[in-house]
Structure 1
Amino acid sequence: MAGGGNKGSGRPAKKKNPIKGTGGNVRRGLEGKGATPPAHMRHWHKDKARTERIEREEKGGRPSSPRASASSRPQVRTRRSDDAPEYIGGRNPVVEALRAGVPASTLYVAMRIDNDDRVKESIRIAANNGIAMLEVGREKLDRLTEGAVHQGVALQIPAYDYAHPEDLVRIAQDAGEAPLIVALDSVTDSRNLGAIARSATAFGAHGMVIPSRRSAGVTGGAWKTSAGTLANMTVARAANLTAALREYREAGLFVIGLDGEGTVDIGDSDLLDGPLVVVVGSEGKGLSRLIRESCDLIVRIPMHAAAESLNAGVAAGIALYEVARHRRR
Protein backbone atom coordinates (compact mmCIF):
# COMPACT_ATOMS: atom_id res chain seq x y z
CA MET A 1 0.00 0.00 0.00
CA ALA A 2 1.46 3.34 -1.08
CA GLY A 3 2.14 5.98 1.53
CA GLY A 4 2.81 3.48 4.44
CA GLY A 5 0.55 3.94 7.46
CA ASN A 6 -0.80 1.35 9.85
CA LYS A 7 -1.25 -1.92 8.11
CA GLY A 8 -4.88 -2.41 7.13
CA SER A 9 -6.06 0.84 8.76
CA GLY A 10 -5.80 3.18 5.77
CA ARG A 11 -4.34 5.88 8.03
CA PRO A 12 -0.86 7.37 7.56
CA ALA A 13 1.69 6.43 10.26
CA LYS A 14 2.49 9.01 12.91
CA LYS A 15 5.97 10.40 12.86
CA LYS A 16 7.84 9.50 16.09
CA ASN A 17 9.59 12.27 17.95
CA PRO A 18 13.30 11.79 18.63
CA ILE A 19 14.12 10.21 22.05
CA LYS A 20 15.29 12.79 24.55
CA GLY A 21 18.61 12.33 26.30
CA THR A 22 19.00 11.62 30.02
CA GLY A 23 21.01 14.74 30.66
CA GLY A 24 23.92 12.66 32.05
CA ASN A 25 21.86 11.09 34.83
CA VAL A 26 22.61 7.53 33.71
CA ARG A 27 26.31 8.26 33.35
CA ARG A 28 26.48 9.76 36.83
CA GLY A 29 24.56 6.79 38.25
CA LEU A 30 27.09 4.38 36.77
CA GLU A 31 29.99 6.12 38.46
CA GLY A 32 29.19 4.46 41.83
CA LYS A 33 29.33 5.83 45.34
CA GLY A 34 32.76 4.65 46.44
CA ALA A 35 33.82 1.77 48.67
CA THR A 36 31.28 0.13 50.98
CA PRO A 37 31.81 1.42 54.54
CA PRO A 38 32.73 -1.14 57.25
CA ALA A 39 29.92 -2.83 59.18
CA HIS A 40 30.21 -0.73 62.32
CA MET A 41 29.70 2.50 60.25
CA ARG A 42 26.51 1.26 58.60
CA HIS A 43 23.61 2.26 60.81
CA TRP A 44 21.40 -0.43 59.34
CA HIS A 45 23.86 -3.27 59.95
CA LYS A 46 23.20 -5.62 62.88
CA ASP A 47 26.91 -5.65 63.87
CA LYS A 48 26.76 -1.95 64.72
CA ALA A 49 24.24 -2.54 67.51
CA ARG A 50 26.22 -5.50 68.77
CA THR A 51 29.46 -3.52 68.76
CA GLU A 52 27.85 -0.65 70.66
CA ARG A 53 26.42 -3.06 73.23
CA ILE A 54 29.79 -4.69 73.83
CA GLU A 55 31.45 -1.27 74.20
CA ARG A 56 28.81 -0.17 76.74
CA GLU A 57 29.27 -3.37 78.74
CA GLU A 58 33.06 -3.02 78.75
CA LYS A 59 32.81 0.58 79.95
CA GLY A 60 30.37 -0.45 82.65
CA GLY A 61 32.62 -3.29 83.82
CA ARG A 62 30.09 -5.99 83.02
CA PRO A 63 31.00 -9.20 81.19
CA SER A 64 29.92 -9.35 77.56
CA SER A 65 28.84 -13.00 77.82
CA PRO A 66 27.68 -15.42 80.52
CA ARG A 67 30.85 -17.48 80.09
CA ALA A 68 33.01 -14.52 81.05
CA SER A 69 31.51 -14.53 84.53
CA ALA A 70 32.41 -18.16 85.21
CA SER A 71 35.25 -17.22 87.54
CA SER A 72 35.98 -20.66 88.92
CA ARG A 73 37.42 -21.97 85.65
CA PRO A 74 40.37 -20.62 83.65
CA GLN A 75 39.35 -18.57 80.66
CA VAL A 76 39.83 -20.46 77.41
CA ARG A 77 39.41 -19.59 73.79
CA THR A 78 36.30 -21.16 72.35
CA ARG A 79 35.28 -22.17 68.87
CA ARG A 80 31.57 -22.09 68.17
CA SER A 81 30.47 -25.42 66.76
CA ASP A 82 28.56 -25.48 63.50
CA ASP A 83 26.36 -28.26 64.89
CA ALA A 84 22.65 -27.74 65.44
CA PRO A 85 21.23 -27.53 68.97
CA GLU A 86 20.82 -30.85 70.76
CA TYR A 87 17.88 -32.16 72.77
CA ILE A 88 17.85 -34.35 75.86
CA GLY A 89 14.61 -36.25 76.42
CA GLY A 90 13.34 -38.08 79.49
CA ARG A 91 12.51 -36.98 83.02
CA ASN A 92 15.59 -38.41 84.73
CA PRO A 93 18.13 -37.24 82.10
CA VAL A 94 16.59 -33.75 81.99
CA VAL A 95 16.54 -33.18 85.75
CA GLU A 96 20.07 -34.63 86.12
CA ALA A 97 21.34 -32.32 83.38
CA LEU A 98 19.74 -29.31 85.05
CA ARG A 99 21.16 -30.29 88.45
CA ALA A 100 24.63 -30.54 86.91
CA GLY A 101 24.40 -27.11 85.34
CA VAL A 102 24.32 -28.23 81.72
CA PRO A 103 24.15 -25.02 79.61
CA ALA A 104 20.55 -25.36 78.48
CA SER A 105 18.56 -22.76 76.57
CA THR A 106 14.95 -24.04 76.61
CA LEU A 107 12.90 -26.51 78.61
CA TYR A 108 9.99 -28.06 76.71
CA VAL A 109 7.11 -29.54 78.72
CA ALA A 110 4.17 -31.39 77.21
CA MET A 111 0.69 -29.96 77.69
CA ARG A 112 -1.44 -31.62 80.37
CA ILE A 113 1.59 -33.55 81.64
CA ASP A 114 1.35 -35.61 84.82
CA ASN A 115 3.73 -33.60 87.02
CA ASP A 116 5.86 -35.73 89.29
CA ASP A 117 8.74 -34.59 91.51
CA ARG A 118 11.23 -34.74 88.61
CA VAL A 119 9.14 -32.49 86.38
CA LYS A 120 8.49 -30.04 89.20
CA GLU A 121 12.19 -29.88 90.05
CA SER A 122 13.11 -29.39 86.39
CA ILE A 123 10.69 -26.46 86.12
CA ARG A 124 11.99 -24.94 89.34
CA ILE A 125 15.67 -25.18 88.32
CA ALA A 126 14.90 -23.79 84.87
CA ALA A 127 13.03 -20.85 86.39
CA ASN A 128 15.83 -20.11 88.87
CA ASN A 129 18.45 -20.13 86.12
CA GLY A 130 16.54 -18.05 83.59
CA ILE A 131 16.01 -20.92 81.16
CA ALA A 132 13.08 -20.37 78.82
CA MET A 133 10.14 -22.75 79.27
CA LEU A 134 7.61 -23.69 76.60
CA GLU A 135 4.49 -25.81 76.85
CA VAL A 136 4.13 -27.78 73.61
CA GLY A 137 2.27 -30.73 72.18
CA ARG A 138 3.70 -34.21 72.30
CA GLU A 139 4.02 -34.22 68.52
CA LYS A 140 6.56 -31.41 68.71
CA LEU A 141 8.47 -33.24 71.42
CA ASP A 142 8.54 -36.31 69.20
CA ARG A 143 10.07 -34.23 66.40
CA LEU A 144 12.61 -32.51 68.65
CA THR A 145 13.83 -35.77 70.19
CA GLU A 146 13.63 -37.63 66.86
CA GLY A 147 11.21 -40.20 68.21
CA ALA A 148 13.14 -41.02 71.40
CA VAL A 149 11.35 -41.67 74.69
CA HIS A 150 10.95 -38.21 76.21
CA GLN A 151 8.21 -38.77 78.82
CA GLY A 152 6.80 -35.34 78.06
CA VAL A 153 9.98 -33.39 78.85
CA ALA A 154 12.89 -32.24 76.66
CA LEU A 155 15.82 -29.90 77.19
CA GLN A 156 17.46 -27.91 74.39
CA ILE A 157 21.22 -27.59 74.56
CA PRO A 158 22.97 -25.06 72.32
CA ALA A 159 25.92 -26.05 70.17
CA TYR A 160 29.00 -26.60 72.32
CA ASP A 161 31.81 -24.00 72.51
CA TYR A 162 35.01 -25.98 72.01
CA ALA A 163 38.31 -24.82 73.47
CA HIS A 164 41.63 -24.71 71.64
CA PRO A 165 43.96 -27.69 72.30
CA GLU A 166 46.66 -25.37 73.70
CA ASP A 167 44.28 -24.16 76.40
CA LEU A 168 44.19 -27.58 78.07
CA VAL A 169 47.87 -27.27 78.95
CA ARG A 170 47.30 -23.79 80.37
CA ILE A 171 44.46 -25.06 82.55
CA ALA A 172 46.86 -27.55 84.16
CA GLN A 173 49.56 -24.90 84.56
CA ASP A 174 47.11 -22.52 86.25
CA ALA A 175 46.29 -25.33 88.69
CA GLY A 176 49.99 -25.99 89.34
CA GLU A 177 49.69 -29.61 88.18
CA ALA A 178 51.27 -31.84 85.56
CA PRO A 179 48.94 -31.85 82.53
CA LEU A 180 46.74 -34.88 81.98
CA ILE A 181 44.85 -34.75 78.68
CA VAL A 182 42.66 -37.39 77.05
CA ALA A 183 42.62 -37.49 73.24
CA LEU A 184 40.03 -39.47 71.28
CA ASP A 185 40.97 -41.01 67.94
CA SER A 186 37.98 -41.92 65.75
CA VAL A 187 35.59 -42.44 68.66
CA THR A 188 32.31 -41.92 66.82
CA ASP A 189 29.76 -42.90 69.49
CA SER A 190 28.69 -39.88 71.53
CA ARG A 191 27.83 -42.18 74.44
CA ASN A 192 31.45 -43.30 74.58
CA LEU A 193 32.54 -39.67 74.59
CA GLY A 194 30.22 -39.00 77.53
CA ALA A 195 31.47 -42.05 79.42
CA ILE A 196 35.11 -41.06 78.85
CA ALA A 197 34.33 -37.52 80.03
CA ARG A 198 32.86 -39.00 83.20
CA SER A 199 36.04 -41.02 83.88
CA ALA A 200 38.29 -38.12 82.92
CA THR A 201 36.54 -35.89 85.45
CA ALA A 202 36.69 -38.56 88.17
CA PHE A 203 40.42 -39.15 87.77
CA GLY A 204 41.59 -35.56 87.45
CA ALA A 205 42.11 -34.98 83.73
CA HIS A 206 42.45 -31.34 82.71
CA GLY A 207 40.60 -31.70 79.42
CA MET A 208 39.76 -33.75 76.36
CA VAL A 209 40.67 -33.15 72.75
CA ILE A 210 38.76 -34.56 69.78
CA PRO A 211 39.29 -34.23 66.01
CA SER A 212 36.88 -32.05 64.09
CA ARG A 213 36.11 -34.79 61.57
CA ARG A 214 35.10 -38.44 61.89
CA SER A 215 34.54 -38.12 65.61
CA ALA A 216 31.68 -37.83 68.05
CA GLY A 217 31.06 -34.35 69.42
CA VAL A 218 29.55 -32.93 72.57
CA THR A 219 25.96 -33.75 71.74
CA GLY A 220 22.84 -34.44 73.75
CA GLY A 221 23.78 -38.12 73.91
CA ALA A 222 27.20 -37.25 75.30
CA TRP A 223 25.69 -34.92 77.92
CA LYS A 224 23.24 -37.63 78.94
CA THR A 225 25.90 -40.34 79.33
CA SER A 226 28.30 -38.05 81.15
CA ALA A 227 25.66 -37.47 83.85
CA GLY A 228 26.43 -33.77 83.71
CA THR A 229 30.21 -34.07 84.22
CA LEU A 230 30.81 -32.39 80.86
CA ALA A 231 29.83 -29.17 82.60
CA ASN A 232 33.15 -29.43 84.49
CA MET A 233 35.29 -30.87 81.70
CA THR A 234 36.83 -28.67 78.99
CA VAL A 235 36.68 -30.25 75.53
CA ALA A 236 38.89 -28.96 72.74
CA ARG A 237 38.50 -29.65 69.05
CA ALA A 238 41.53 -30.01 66.77
CA ALA A 239 41.42 -29.57 63.01
CA ASN A 240 44.25 -32.14 62.80
CA LEU A 241 44.70 -34.46 65.77
CA THR A 242 48.11 -35.65 64.58
CA ALA A 243 49.39 -32.06 64.49
CA ALA A 244 47.87 -31.37 67.93
CA LEU A 245 49.69 -34.38 69.41
CA ARG A 246 52.94 -33.20 67.83
CA GLU A 247 52.49 -29.78 69.43
CA TYR A 248 51.84 -31.41 72.79
CA ARG A 249 55.10 -33.35 72.48
CA GLU A 250 56.97 -30.17 71.56
CA ALA A 251 55.50 -28.58 74.70
CA GLY A 252 57.05 -31.35 76.84
CA LEU A 253 54.13 -33.77 77.20
CA PHE A 254 54.47 -37.51 76.70
CA VAL A 255 51.90 -39.15 74.44
CA ILE A 256 50.86 -42.74 75.10
CA GLY A 257 48.41 -44.65 72.94
CA LEU A 258 45.97 -47.16 74.42
CA ASP A 259 45.70 -50.19 72.18
CA GLY A 260 45.19 -53.93 72.64
CA GLU A 261 48.26 -54.60 70.50
CA GLY A 262 50.55 -52.55 72.73
CA THR A 263 53.81 -54.08 73.88
CA VAL A 264 53.84 -52.66 77.43
CA ASP A 265 51.26 -53.09 80.17
CA ILE A 266 49.99 -49.70 81.22
CA GLY A 267 50.88 -50.37 84.86
CA ASP A 268 54.53 -50.94 83.88
CA SER A 269 54.92 -47.61 82.09
CA ASP A 270 57.18 -45.04 83.75
CA LEU A 271 55.52 -42.09 81.98
CA LEU A 272 52.27 -41.96 83.91
CA ASP A 273 53.28 -39.52 86.63
CA GLY A 274 54.55 -36.82 84.26
CA PRO A 275 52.85 -34.44 81.81
CA LEU A 276 50.79 -36.84 79.78
CA VAL A 277 48.35 -37.28 76.89
CA VAL A 278 46.40 -40.56 76.84
CA VAL A 279 45.06 -41.39 73.37
CA VAL A 280 42.03 -43.68 73.20
CA GLY A 281 41.23 -45.36 69.88
CA SER A 282 37.97 -46.66 68.48
CA GLU A 283 36.60 -50.04 69.52
CA GLY A 284 36.81 -51.72 66.15
CA LYS A 285 40.02 -50.35 64.63
CA GLY A 286 41.97 -49.08 67.61
CA LEU A 287 44.50 -46.35 66.90
CA SER A 288 44.95 -45.13 63.34
CA ARG A 289 48.39 -45.44 61.74
CA LEU A 290 49.30 -41.74 61.89
CA ILE A 291 48.18 -41.42 65.50
CA ARG A 292 50.12 -44.54 66.46
CA GLU A 293 53.25 -43.09 64.89
CA SER A 294 52.71 -39.86 66.86
CA CYS A 295 52.82 -41.65 70.23
CA ASP A 296 55.89 -42.04 72.42
CA LEU A 297 54.61 -45.39 73.67
CA ILE A 298 51.79 -47.83 72.92
CA VAL A 299 50.39 -49.47 76.05
CA ARG A 300 47.78 -52.15 76.66
CA ILE A 301 45.46 -53.21 79.44
CA PRO A 302 46.37 -56.78 80.47
CA MET A 303 43.42 -59.16 80.08
CA HIS A 304 42.76 -62.87 79.88
CA ALA A 305 43.35 -64.23 76.41
CA ALA A 306 39.71 -65.23 76.02
CA ALA A 307 38.40 -61.72 76.70
CA GLU A 308 37.37 -59.53 73.80
CA SER A 309 38.49 -55.93 73.34
CA LEU A 310 37.05 -53.49 75.86
CA ASN A 311 34.57 -50.77 75.16
CA ALA A 312 36.38 -47.47 74.55
CA GLY A 313 34.73 -45.85 77.58
CA VAL A 314 35.61 -48.79 79.86
CA ALA A 315 39.21 -48.93 78.58
CA ALA A 316 39.67 -45.19 79.14
CA GLY A 317 38.34 -45.48 82.69
CA ILE A 318 40.78 -48.29 83.55
CA ALA A 319 43.71 -46.44 82.00
CA LEU A 320 42.91 -43.17 83.78
CA TYR A 321 42.56 -44.98 87.10
CA GLU A 322 46.04 -46.43 86.60
CA VAL A 323 47.40 -42.98 85.80
CA ALA A 324 45.77 -41.52 88.92
CA ARG A 325 47.18 -44.36 91.05
CA HIS A 326 50.72 -43.65 89.85
CA ARG A 327 50.30 -39.93 90.47
CA ARG A 328 49.21 -40.47 94.06
CA ARG A 329 52.49 -42.19 94.90
Structure 2
Amino acid sequence: MREEESIIEGRNAVLEALRAKKPIDKLFVLDGCMDGPIRSIIREAKKTDAILNFVTKERLTQISATGKHQGAIAYVASYEYSTVEDMLALAKEKGEDPFLILLDGIEDPYNLGAIIRTANLAGAHGVIIPKRRAASLTATVARTSSGAINYTPVAKVTNLVKTMEELKKEGLWFACADMDGEVMYRSNLKGPIGLVIGNEGEGVSRLVKETCDYVISIPMKGDIDSLNASVACGVFAYEIVRQRGDAVC
Protein backbone atom coordinates (compact mmCIF):
# COMPACT_ATOMS: atom_id res chain seq x y z
CA MET A 1 0.00 0.00 0.00
CA ARG A 2 1.25 3.47 -0.85
CA GLU A 3 1.15 6.01 1.98
CA GLU A 4 -1.28 8.37 0.21
CA GLU A 5 -4.06 5.81 -0.24
CA SER A 6 -6.65 4.57 2.25
CA ILE A 7 -7.25 0.84 1.94
CA ILE A 8 -10.01 -1.47 3.16
CA GLU A 9 -9.44 -5.23 3.22
CA GLY A 10 -11.68 -8.21 3.81
CA ARG A 11 -15.01 -9.22 2.33
CA ASN A 12 -17.27 -7.89 5.06
CA ALA A 13 -15.36 -4.63 5.44
CA VAL A 14 -15.37 -3.95 1.70
CA LEU A 15 -19.06 -4.85 1.37
CA GLU A 16 -20.05 -2.57 4.24
CA ALA A 17 -17.97 0.27 2.78
CA LEU A 18 -19.84 -0.09 -0.52
CA ARG A 19 -23.21 -0.18 1.22
CA ALA A 20 -22.23 2.90 3.24
CA LYS A 21 -21.47 4.65 -0.06
CA LYS A 22 -17.88 5.47 0.84
CA PRO A 23 -16.02 7.11 -2.09
CA ILE A 24 -14.26 4.00 -3.38
CA ASP A 25 -11.99 4.63 -6.37
CA LYS A 26 -10.72 1.12 -7.10
CA LEU A 27 -11.85 -2.33 -6.09
CA PHE A 28 -9.79 -5.52 -6.46
CA VAL A 29 -11.46 -8.94 -6.16
CA LEU A 30 -10.11 -12.44 -6.67
CA ASP A 31 -10.58 -13.54 -10.26
CA GLY A 32 -12.72 -16.65 -10.62
CA CYS A 33 -14.13 -16.49 -7.09
CA MET A 34 -17.93 -16.23 -7.24
CA ASP A 35 -19.11 -17.23 -3.78
CA GLY A 36 -21.91 -15.31 -2.04
CA PRO A 37 -19.89 -12.49 -0.42
CA ILE A 38 -17.86 -11.80 -3.57
CA ARG A 39 -21.02 -11.76 -5.70
CA SER A 40 -22.53 -9.25 -3.27
CA ILE A 41 -19.42 -7.07 -3.50
CA ILE A 42 -19.52 -7.14 -7.30
CA ARG A 43 -23.24 -6.32 -7.33
CA GLU A 44 -22.80 -3.35 -5.01
CA ALA A 45 -19.71 -2.13 -6.86
CA LYS A 46 -21.63 -1.96 -10.14
CA LYS A 47 -23.95 0.58 -8.53
CA THR A 48 -21.02 2.94 -7.98
CA ASP A 49 -18.26 4.65 -9.96
CA ALA A 50 -15.61 2.31 -8.52
CA ILE A 51 -13.25 0.70 -11.02
CA LEU A 52 -13.69 -3.06 -10.61
CA ASN A 53 -10.57 -5.16 -11.20
CA PHE A 54 -10.45 -8.97 -11.24
CA VAL A 55 -6.94 -10.02 -10.23
CA THR A 56 -4.93 -13.04 -9.15
CA LYS A 57 -4.35 -14.09 -5.55
CA GLU A 58 -0.70 -13.12 -6.02
CA ARG A 59 -1.68 -9.59 -7.04
CA LEU A 60 -4.00 -9.23 -4.04
CA THR A 61 -1.26 -10.41 -1.72
CA GLN A 62 1.13 -7.92 -3.30
CA ILE A 63 -1.10 -4.90 -2.63
CA SER A 64 -2.42 -6.09 0.73
CA ALA A 65 -1.22 -4.29 3.83
CA THR A 66 -2.37 -6.95 6.29
CA GLY A 67 -2.21 -10.22 4.35
CA LYS A 68 -5.86 -10.84 5.34
CA HIS A 69 -7.61 -9.56 2.23
CA GLN A 70 -10.01 -12.55 1.87
CA GLY A 71 -10.17 -11.91 -1.86
CA ALA A 72 -11.30 -8.28 -1.69
CA ILE A 73 -9.45 -4.95 -1.38
CA ALA A 74 -10.80 -1.43 -1.87
CA TYR A 75 -8.97 1.87 -2.29
CA VAL A 76 -10.98 4.73 -0.79
CA ALA A 77 -10.72 8.38 -1.77
CA SER A 78 -9.63 10.68 1.02
CA TYR A 79 -12.32 13.22 0.14
CA GLU A 80 -15.86 13.04 -1.19
CA TYR A 81 -16.40 13.72 -4.88
CA SER A 82 -18.81 16.37 -6.02
CA THR A 83 -20.95 16.47 -9.18
CA VAL A 84 -20.86 18.57 -12.32
CA GLU A 85 -24.34 19.79 -11.45
CA ASP A 86 -23.01 21.10 -8.14
CA MET A 87 -20.40 23.12 -10.03
CA LEU A 88 -22.98 24.73 -12.32
CA ALA A 89 -25.13 25.48 -9.29
CA LEU A 90 -22.15 27.13 -7.56
CA ALA A 91 -21.54 29.38 -10.57
CA LYS A 92 -25.22 30.33 -10.65
CA GLU A 93 -25.21 31.05 -6.93
CA LYS A 94 -22.26 33.41 -7.38
CA GLY A 95 -23.85 35.06 -10.42
CA GLU A 96 -20.85 34.10 -12.59
CA ASP A 97 -20.36 32.39 -15.92
CA PRO A 98 -19.26 28.79 -15.28
CA PHE A 99 -15.49 28.26 -15.33
CA LEU A 100 -14.50 24.60 -15.14
CA ILE A 101 -11.14 22.84 -15.47
CA LEU A 102 -11.20 19.39 -17.09
CA LEU A 103 -8.20 17.08 -16.75
CA ASP A 104 -7.65 14.47 -19.44
CA GLY A 105 -5.53 11.81 -17.76
CA ILE A 106 -3.50 13.73 -15.17
CA GLU A 107 -1.80 10.84 -13.34
CA ASP A 108 0.56 12.62 -10.93
CA PRO A 109 -1.20 13.33 -7.60
CA TYR A 110 1.08 16.32 -7.04
CA ASN A 111 -0.06 17.83 -10.33
CA LEU A 112 -3.69 17.20 -9.46
CA GLY A 113 -3.31 18.80 -6.04
CA ALA A 114 -1.54 21.83 -7.51
CA ILE A 115 -4.25 22.23 -10.16
CA ILE A 116 -7.02 22.12 -7.53
CA ARG A 117 -5.14 24.84 -5.64
CA THR A 118 -4.86 26.95 -8.79
CA ALA A 119 -8.53 26.36 -9.62
CA ASN A 120 -9.54 27.69 -6.23
CA LEU A 121 -7.36 30.80 -6.44
CA ALA A 122 -8.43 31.55 -10.02
CA GLY A 123 -12.09 31.33 -9.11
CA ALA A 124 -12.90 28.18 -11.09
CA HIS A 125 -16.14 26.53 -10.04
CA GLY A 126 -14.75 23.00 -10.16
CA VAL A 127 -12.34 20.43 -11.51
CA ILE A 128 -13.49 17.41 -13.53
CA ILE A 129 -11.39 14.24 -13.77
CA PRO A 130 -12.00 10.96 -15.62
CA LYS A 131 -12.78 7.72 -13.86
CA ARG A 132 -9.89 5.77 -15.41
CA ARG A 133 -6.19 6.42 -15.97
CA ALA A 134 -6.07 9.45 -13.71
CA ALA A 135 -5.03 10.44 -10.20
CA SER A 136 -7.81 10.37 -7.62
CA LEU A 137 -8.43 12.26 -4.36
CA THR A 138 -5.70 10.81 -2.17
CA ALA A 139 -4.19 12.38 0.93
CA THR A 140 -1.20 13.49 -1.19
CA VAL A 141 -3.56 15.41 -3.48
CA ALA A 142 -5.19 17.01 -0.44
CA ARG A 143 -1.85 18.09 1.02
CA THR A 144 -0.60 19.47 -2.29
CA SER A 145 -3.79 21.46 -2.73
CA SER A 146 -2.97 23.31 0.51
CA GLY A 147 -6.55 22.99 1.70
CA ALA A 148 -8.19 24.04 -1.57
CA ILE A 149 -9.74 20.58 -1.88
CA ASN A 150 -12.09 21.59 0.95
CA TYR A 151 -13.51 24.47 -1.10
CA THR A 152 -13.21 23.52 -4.77
CA PRO A 153 -15.56 20.77 -6.02
CA VAL A 154 -13.95 17.82 -7.82
CA ALA A 155 -16.13 15.52 -9.93
CA LYS A 156 -15.17 12.14 -11.37
CA VAL A 157 -16.90 11.20 -14.64
CA THR A 158 -16.97 8.05 -16.73
CA ASN A 159 -16.57 9.76 -20.10
CA LEU A 160 -15.05 13.21 -20.57
CA VAL A 161 -16.35 13.60 -24.12
CA LYS A 162 -19.92 12.84 -23.09
CA THR A 163 -19.62 15.24 -20.16
CA MET A 164 -18.34 17.98 -22.47
CA GLU A 165 -21.18 17.43 -24.91
CA GLU A 166 -23.69 17.73 -22.07
CA LEU A 167 -22.01 20.90 -20.81
CA LYS A 168 -22.13 22.42 -24.29
CA LYS A 169 -25.91 22.23 -23.99
CA GLU A 170 -25.52 24.41 -20.89
CA GLY A 171 -23.68 27.02 -22.96
CA LEU A 172 -20.05 26.17 -22.20
CA TRP A 173 -17.28 26.47 -24.76
CA PHE A 174 -14.14 24.36 -24.44
CA ALA A 175 -10.53 25.45 -24.88
CA CYS A 176 -7.95 22.70 -25.31
CA ALA A 177 -4.40 23.37 -24.12
CA ASP A 178 -1.96 22.24 -26.80
CA MET A 179 1.43 23.43 -28.05
CA ASP A 180 0.11 23.64 -31.62
CA GLY A 181 -2.83 25.90 -30.73
CA GLU A 182 -3.40 29.58 -31.25
CA VAL A 183 -1.59 31.80 -28.74
CA MET A 184 -4.00 32.26 -25.84
CA TYR A 185 -3.84 36.06 -25.96
CA ARG A 186 -5.52 35.96 -29.37
CA SER A 187 -8.35 33.66 -28.26
CA ASN A 188 -11.65 34.74 -26.75
CA LEU A 189 -11.78 33.05 -23.34
CA LYS A 190 -14.70 35.03 -21.95
CA GLY A 191 -18.08 33.66 -20.99
CA PRO A 192 -18.94 30.11 -19.84
CA ILE A 193 -15.79 28.08 -20.43
CA GLY A 194 -14.09 24.77 -19.78
CA LEU A 195 -10.29 24.64 -19.83
CA VAL A 196 -8.99 21.21 -20.87
CA ILE A 197 -5.52 20.15 -19.69
CA GLY A 198 -3.99 16.92 -20.97
CA ASN A 199 -1.83 14.10 -19.69
CA GLU A 200 1.68 14.98 -18.50
CA GLY A 201 3.32 13.11 -21.38
CA GLU A 202 0.79 12.65 -24.17
CA GLY A 203 -1.31 15.78 -23.83
CA VAL A 204 -5.02 15.88 -24.61
CA SER A 205 -6.37 12.72 -26.25
CA ARG A 206 -7.66 12.90 -29.83
CA LEU A 207 -11.38 12.53 -29.13
CA VAL A 208 -11.34 15.06 -26.31
CA LYS A 209 -9.37 17.50 -28.44
CA GLU A 210 -11.81 17.11 -31.33
CA THR A 211 -14.69 17.85 -28.97
CA CYS A 212 -13.12 21.16 -27.93
CA ASP A 213 -14.19 24.35 -29.70
CA TYR A 214 -10.70 25.75 -30.06
CA VAL A 215 -7.08 24.98 -29.21
CA ILE A 216 -4.88 27.43 -27.33
CA SER A 217 -1.20 27.59 -26.49
CA ILE A 218 1.27 29.46 -24.30
CA PRO A 219 4.01 31.38 -26.17
CA MET A 220 7.34 29.66 -25.55
CA LYS A 221 10.64 31.54 -25.75
CA GLY A 222 13.02 29.13 -24.05
CA ASP A 223 15.03 26.11 -25.15
CA ILE A 224 12.53 23.44 -24.07
CA ASP A 225 9.07 23.00 -25.54
CA SER A 226 6.64 22.54 -22.66
CA LEU A 227 5.65 23.42 -19.11
CA ASN A 228 4.65 21.13 -16.27
CA ALA A 229 0.91 20.40 -16.53
CA SER A 230 0.00 22.20 -13.31
CA VAL A 231 2.12 25.24 -14.21
CA ALA A 232 0.57 25.40 -17.67
CA CYS A 233 -2.88 25.16 -16.13
CA GLY A 234 -2.07 28.13 -13.92
CA VAL A 235 -0.94 30.26 -16.86
CA PHE A 236 -4.06 29.46 -18.87
CA ALA A 237 -6.36 29.91 -15.88
CA TYR A 238 -5.09 33.39 -15.16
CA GLU A 239 -5.44 34.43 -18.79
CA ILE A 240 -9.09 33.42 -18.42
CA VAL A 241 -9.26 35.49 -15.20
CA ARG A 242 -7.78 38.48 -17.05
CA GLN A 243 -10.17 38.23 -19.97
CA ARG A 244 -13.19 37.79 -17.70
CA GLY A 245 -12.32 41.11 -16.15
CA ASP A 246 -11.59 39.66 -12.74
CA ALA A 247 -7.96 40.73 -12.70
CA VAL A 248 -6.97 43.60 -10.40
CA CYS A 249 -5.17 46.32 -12.35
TM-score by length of 1: 0.52
Please report how far the alpha carbon of residue 239 of structure 1 lies from its aligned counterpart in structure 2 after TM superposition.
Answer: 0.9
Tell me by how many angstroms 1:268 deviates.
1.2
Q: 1:273 aligns with which of 187, 190, 195?
A: 190
Residue 248 of structure 2 is aligned to residue 306 of structure 1: no
| Equivalence map 1:144-163=2 (5 Å) | 159-163=78-82
Output aligned runs, 1:35-184, within 5 Å. 80-83=22-25, 159-184=78-103
Q: Determine helix, strand or coil for the equivalent of 2:212.
A: coil
CA offset at residue 170 of structure 1?
1.5
Name which structure has the greater RCO, CA cutoff 8 Å, separation 6+: 2
Choose which of 91, 103, 126 in structure 2 pairs with 1:207: 126
Cα displacement (A) at 1:267? 1.5
Contact (CA 8 Å) 1:256, 1:297: kept in 2 or not? yes
TM-fit CA distance, 1:83: 3.6
Q: Secondary structure at the match of 2:244?
A: helix
Amino acid of the residue matched to residue 107 of structure 2? T
In structure 2, how many angstroms separate the alpha carbons of the residues matched to 1:81 and 1:162?
7
Following the alignment from structure 1 to structure 2, what is the Cα–Cα distance between the partners of residues 234 and 326? 23
Aligned-partner residue type, residue 114 of structure 2: A
Which residue identity does 1:324 align to in structure 2?
V
Q: Is the 8 A contact 1:212 1:237 kept in 2?
A: yes
Cα shift at 1:307: 2.4
Distance (whole Å) between structure 2 residues aligned to residue 297 and residue 183 of structure 1:
14
1:284-310 deviations in Å (ceiling 9; x for gaps): 111000100110001001111622311
Where in structure 1 are there 5+ consecutive unaligned residues?
A: 1-45, 51-78, 85-142, 145-156
Larger Rg over CA atoms: 1
Aligned positions, number: 181
* Offset of residue 225 of structure 1: 0.9
Identity of aligned residues (%): 39
Equivalent residue letter for 2:144: T
Give the match's secondary structure for 1:224: helix
Secondary structure of residue in 2 paired with 1:261: strand
Greater share of strand: 2
User: What is the rounded CA distance, in whole Å, between the counterparts of 1:230 and 1:160 in structure 2?
Assistant: 8
The separation in 2 between residues aligned to 1:307 and 1:186, in whole angstroms, is: 22
Task: Name the residue aligned to 1:252.
Answer: 171
SS at match of 2:180: coil
Residue 293 of structure 1 aligns to a residue whose secondary structure is helix
**Distance of 2:135 and 2:191 partners within structure 1:** 28
Q: Distance in 2 between matches of 1:222 and 1:253?
A: 27
Q: For the Cα contact (< 8 Å) 2:77–2:138, is it kept in 1?
A: no
Separation in 2, partners of 1:322, 1:283 = 21
In structure 1, the partner of 2:137 is 218
**Which structure 2 residues correspond to residues 312-327 of structure 1 after superposition, within 5 A?**
312-327=229-244
Residue 122 of structure 2 corresponds to residue 235 of structure 1: no
Give, in angstroms, the shift of residue 158 of structure 1: 6.0
Contact 1:211 1:238 in 2 (8 A): yes
Residues 80 and 164 of structure 1: is their aligned pair in 2 closer, same or farther, counting only changes over 3 Å? farther
Report the Cα distance in structure 2 between the residues aligned to 1:160 and 1:283, rounded to whole angstroms.
23
Q: Could you say if the C-alpha distance between residues 80 and 319 of structure 1 is closer, same or farther in structure 2, counting changes exceeding 3 Å?
A: farther
1:111 equivalent in structure 2: none
Equivalent residues of 2:77, 2:136 under 8 A apart:
no
Shift of 1:259: 1.1
CA gap 1:80/1:163 in 2 versus in 1, 3 angstroms: farther
TM-score by length of 2: 0.68
Give 3-state SS (helix, strand or coil) of 1:168's partner. Answer: helix
Aligned residue runs from structure 1 range 9-28, under 5 A: none
Shift of 1:240: 0.7
